[in-house]
A and B are shown apart, each in its own frame.
Chain A
Amino acid sequence: NAGVTQTPKFQVLKTGQSMTLQCAQDMNHNSMYWYRQDPGMGLRLIYYSASEGTTDKGEVPNGYNVSRLNKREFSLRLESAAPSQTSVYFCASSPGTSSSNEQFFGPGTRLTVL
Chain B
Amino acid sequence: GENVEQHPSTLSVQEGDSAVIKCTYSDSASNYFPWYKQELGKRPQLIIDIRSNVGEKKDQRIAVTLNKTAKHFSLHITETQPEDSAVYFCAASPYSGGYQKVTFGTGTKLQVIP
Measured in the bound complex, the distance between the Cα atoms of B42 and A42 in whole Å is 14
Interface flag for A43 (CB, 8 Å): yes
- Kindly list chain B residues whose C-beta atoms are within 8 Å of the C-beta of A44: 104
- Kindly list chain B residues whose C-beta atoms are within 8 Å of the C-beta of A40: 9, 106-107
B46 & A103 in contact (Cβ 8 Å cutoff) = yes
- Among the 9-residue stretches B52-60, B76-84, B91-99, the one with 4 or more Cβ atoms under 8 Å from chain A is B91-99
In this complex, how many residues of chain B approach chain A with their Cβ under 8 Å: the count is 25
- Among B1, B89, B99, B107, chain A packs the most CB atoms within 10 A around the CB of B99
Question: Smallest CB–CB gap between B13 and chain A, Å?
Answer: 21
Question: Smallest CB–CB gap between B42 and chain A, Å?
Answer: 8
Measured in the bound complex, the distance between the Cα atoms of B44 and A58 in whole Å is 19
- Kindly list chain A residues whose C-beta atoms are within 8 Å of the C-beta of B106: 40-42
Measured in the bound complex, the distance between the Cα atoms of B101 and A48 in whole Å is 8
Question: Smallest CB–CB gap between A71 and chain B, Å?
Answer: 13
Give which listed residue, A42, A94, A106, contacts B99 with CB less than 8 A.
A94
B99 & A96 in contact (Cβ 8 Å cutoff) = yes
Measured in the bound complex, the distance between the Cα atoms of B104 and A90 in whole Å is 13
Interface flag for B12 (CB, 8 Å): no
Question: Smallest CB–CB gap between B35 and chain A, Å?
Answer: 11
Question: Smallest CB–CB gap between B16 and chain A, Å?
Answer: 29
Question: Smallest CB–CB gap between A85 and chain B, Å?
Answer: 19
Interface flag for A30 (CB, 8 Å): yes
Which chain B residues have a beta carbon within 8 Å of chain A's beta carbons? 1, 6, 9, 32, 34, 42-46, 49, 89, 93, 95, 97-107
